[in-house]
C-alpha cells in the first residue's frame, strides 16, 4: 500500500485517547512508509494524524475544496496541498490517490466520507479496503446499527463484512493490508 486516506473528526473529541490514537495512526503509517491522504485541516483529530505523520518523516497530502480554504484551518506544513473545486471532486481525488480508507472517530463529515467509500466498494466502483479504527468503542452503536440493517434486510451480510473493524492501529492496518475482494 502506497497511501491510505484517513477520515477523522475536525474536533478532538471528549477523550484524550482519540487524539492519542490519531497521532499513533499517523506515526505508524509513516513508519510503514505509507503516505497519508486527508482533508488538509490542522484542527481536531485531522491535525493530530497529519502532525504525527509529518514528525515521523511521512508523506501527507491534503485535499481541500476552494470554499474551505477560507477557513484558516488549512495545515501549512503538508508535503502537498491539492485544492479542488467542490466536495465531490475532493472525495473523488482522495479515492484516486489512496489504496485504502480508515475512519477514526468523527461526526457527520467523517461518517459521510466513510459511507461513500464503503458504498463505492459495495458497488465495485473501487476495490479498496475500508476500515474503522474503533477507539474506545466509539463506533459501537454504528456497528450494532449495521447488524440491525442486516437483520432487517437492508444490508447483505457479505457487504456488512466488507467494513473492516479493529480497535488498535496495528489491527486496522493489518486488516487493510490483508484485504482482498472475493
Q: Does 58 bind ligand AMP (CB under 6 A)?
A: no
Question: Of 93-132, which residues contact ligand AMP (CB under 6 A)?
Answer: 106-110, 113
Exactly one of 3, 4, 8, 117 binds ligand AMP (CB under 6 A); which one?
8
E strand segments, the chain: 3-7, 35-38, 60-65, 80-84, 101-103, 130-133, 163-166
Residue 157 C-beta: closest distance to ligand AMP, Å = 27
Task: Identify which of residues 88 and 158 has a Cβ nearer to ligand AMP in the complex.
Answer: 88
Nearest Cα residue to 46 out of 19, 83, 68: 19
Q: How far is the CB of 66 from ligand AMP (least distance, A)?
A: 12
Using DSSP's 3-state secondary structure scheme, residue 99 falls into coil
Site for ligand AMP in 24-53 (CB under 6 A): 39-41, 46
**Residue of 92, 88, 111 lying closest to 7 (CA atoms):** 111
User: If we measure between CA atoms, which residue out of 131, 119, 134, 122 comes closest to residue 173?
Assistant: 131
Residues engaged in binding ligand AMP (CB under 6 A)? 7-11, 39-41, 46, 64, 68, 71, 73, 106-110, 113
Amino acid at each position: 500500500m502506497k497511501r491510505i486516506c484517513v477520515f477523522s473528526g475536525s474536533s478532538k473529541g471528549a477523550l484524550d485517547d482519540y487524539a492519542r490514537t490519531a497521532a499513533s495512526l499517523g506515526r505508524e503509517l509513516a513508519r510503514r512508509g505509507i503516505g497519508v491522504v486527508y482533508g488538509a485541516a490542522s484542527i481536531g483529530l485531522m491535525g493530530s494524524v497529519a502532525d504525527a505523520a509529518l514528525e515521523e518523516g511521512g508523506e501527507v497530502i491534503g485535499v481541500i475544496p476552494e470554499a474551505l480554504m477560507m477557513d484558516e484551518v488549512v495545515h501549512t506544513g503538508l508535503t502537498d496541498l491539492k485544492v479542488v473545486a467542490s466536495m465531490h471532486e475532493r472525495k473523488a481525488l482522495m479515492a484516486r490517490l489512496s489504496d485504502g480508507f480508515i475512519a477514526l472517530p468523527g461526526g457527520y463529515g467523517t461518517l459521510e466520507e466513510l459511507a461513500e467509500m464503503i458504498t463505492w466498494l459495495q458497488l465495485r466502483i473501487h476495490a479498496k479496503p475500508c476500515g474503522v479504527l474503533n477507539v474506545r468503542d466509539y463506533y459501537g452503536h454504528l456497528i450494532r446499527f449495521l447488524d440491525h440493517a442486516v437483520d432487517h434486510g437492508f444490508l447483505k451480510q457479505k457487504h456488512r463484512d466488507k467494513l473492516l473493524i479493529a480497535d488498535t492501529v496495528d489491527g486496522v492496518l493489518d486488516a487493510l493490508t490483508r484485504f482482498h475482494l472475493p
